[in-house]
Amino acid sequence: MEPFKNKYCIVGVGNTNYGTNPGLSQVGHNVKAIRAAAEDAGLEMSEVNGVLTKAPSSTFPMLWGPRVSEALGIVPKVTATIDQAGASNISLVMYAMIAIELGQADVIACVYGDNPRTGYRDNYKQPRGANAFAGLFGAPLGYANIARRHMELYGTTPEQLGNVAVAHRHHASMNSNAHYQESITLDDYHNSRWIAEPFHLLDCTPVSDSGAAWIITTEERAKQLKQKPIYIEGLGQGNPSWDFATRDDMTVSGAKIASEGVFRTAQMNPSDMDFCQFYDCFTIVPIVTLEDYGFVNKGEGAAFFEDKRTWIGGELPINTSGGLLSETGMPGPQLIVEATRQLRHQYAGTERQVEGAEVGLVSQQGGIMTTHGAMILSNQG
């Protein structure tokens, strides 16, 4: 894979209030996030000529792109909804770049928004296929099976899972828009109720109302806009298997395959990353992700989360806004928004800023480690 021929940039990001937000509909979260991103970029709504969406998980409506566009009062040239569950968000970026490259549109808004906390959320606990009779409901049970296997193979401990929850909550404690901002200790982690052993409640992402958007355009156009352009340097994708139980090694995620694409297109290595924003729907996931991208050897991911090495100010800050575990249970877009803000140095002068950050890695994941998206962003061009 060659580096990208032309450069594309994230020029605007926006989000709604994360957490419990009964005043905003599903459409509302999408519209408000895109309007905030356009405002951030210094774009008029009429200049946005593409709208790409991931369908809200809670109801999975059809034709969501046109629905959101109409509520934005625009008639875009391009709309599409991509389904790779959580991994969709990076595929929206890929589709946006293709659409611009092929001359179909030049300012494209990517968005996700949903209100499962105050609205409908039954989709989250649906049984999965023939597994219903066995009592396998929802995503936590699938991921807990993976965590147990990882603990057996590599000696990963409950304390090490807890470290991930504590670290991400620490970052959320500096984030006034995070769903959960109160710092937690390992004791709090151990005392939180069991969901499915080995997972406590604090191993799991909450259900949150949220919306977030990011706007993509060409480098040329980006340079005329309000914000420092954030460059899309690399993309990768991996789709190891549909069913977690049938995967050869269920402790290996799509990040293993996606890492090849993302580091080759960016022509970079893990050591070039100043921070990571990892999809962290459950505590085991950033551990596995760190291993599968090659930051550490397989089985050594959990140890990396010890001694505050992943805290801002540490060796490799991870999930600097609190991630899915604490900022919002929204499936992924918050990580793209946060990476962009870190690379703009938007938190400069506060403890939230990763000092001197130039390059960051974002991962997104769908299903029970079913599908994976990777993206490297930089502020260098």
Residues that bind other proteins (CB under 8 A): 125, 127, 129-138, 140-141, 144-146, 148-149, 152, 193-199, 245-246, 250
Torsion of CA 353, 357, 363, 364, to 10 degrees: 50
Between 63 and 153, name the residue whose CB sits nearer to other proteins: 153
Which residues, in sequence order, are bridge partners of residue 170? none
246 vs 271, which CB is nearer to other proteins? Answer: 246
Least distance between other proteins and beta carbon 279 (Å): 21
Shortest Cβ distance from residue 251 to other proteins (Å)? 9
Question: Of 44 and 249, which has the nearer Cβ to other proteins?
Answer: 249
Q: Could you tell me which residues come within 8 angstroms of residue 254 by beta carbon, excluding any fewer than 6 positions away?
A: 87, 237, 238, 239, 240, 292, 365, 369, 370, 371, 372
CB of 266 to other proteins, least distance (A): 34
Nearer to other proteins, 149 or 352 (CB): 149
Q: Are 192 and 200 in contact (CB under 8 A)?
A: yes
Q: Distance between CA 331 and CA 366 in Å, rounded?
A: 8
Q: Are 197 and 225 in contact (CB under 8 A)?
A: no
d(Cα 206, Cα 195) in Å, to the nearest integer? 12
Of the two residues 152 and 187, which places its CB atom closer to other proteins in the complex?
152
Q: Least CB distance from residue 159 to other proteins, whole Å?
A: 19
The smaller minimum CB distance to other proteins, of residues 57 and 379, is found at: 57
| The two three-digit tokens of residue 66, written as one number | 């046109």
Q: How far is the CB of 146 from other proteins (least distance, A)?
A: 7
Q: Whole-number minimum distance, CB 241 to other proteins, in Å?
A: 11
Give, for 378, the enclosing helix (H) or strand (E): strand 371-378
Query: DSSP readout, 50-116?
Result: EEEE---TTT--SSHHHHHHHHHT---SEEEE--BTBTHHHHHHHHHHHHHHTTS-SEEEEEEEE-T
Q: Which is nearer to other proteins, 98 or 153 (CB)?
A: 153
* Distance in Å, CB of 162 to other proteins, minimum: 17
Amino acid making up residue 99: A
User: Cis omega (within 30 of 0) on the bond before 286?
Assistant: no
The long-range contacts involving 357-361, CB below 8 angstroms and separated by at least 24 positions, are: 357/274, 357/275, 358/274, 359/233, 359/268, 359/272, 359/273, 359/274, 360/273, 360/274, 360/275, 360/276, 360/277, 361/262, 361/270, 361/273, 361/275, 361/276, 361/277, 361/293
Nearer to other proteins, 62 or 130 (CB): 130
The nearer residue to other proteins, 4 or 137, going by C-beta atoms, is 137
Min dist CB 136 to other proteins, Å, is 5
Least distance (Å) between residue 184 CB and other proteins: 20
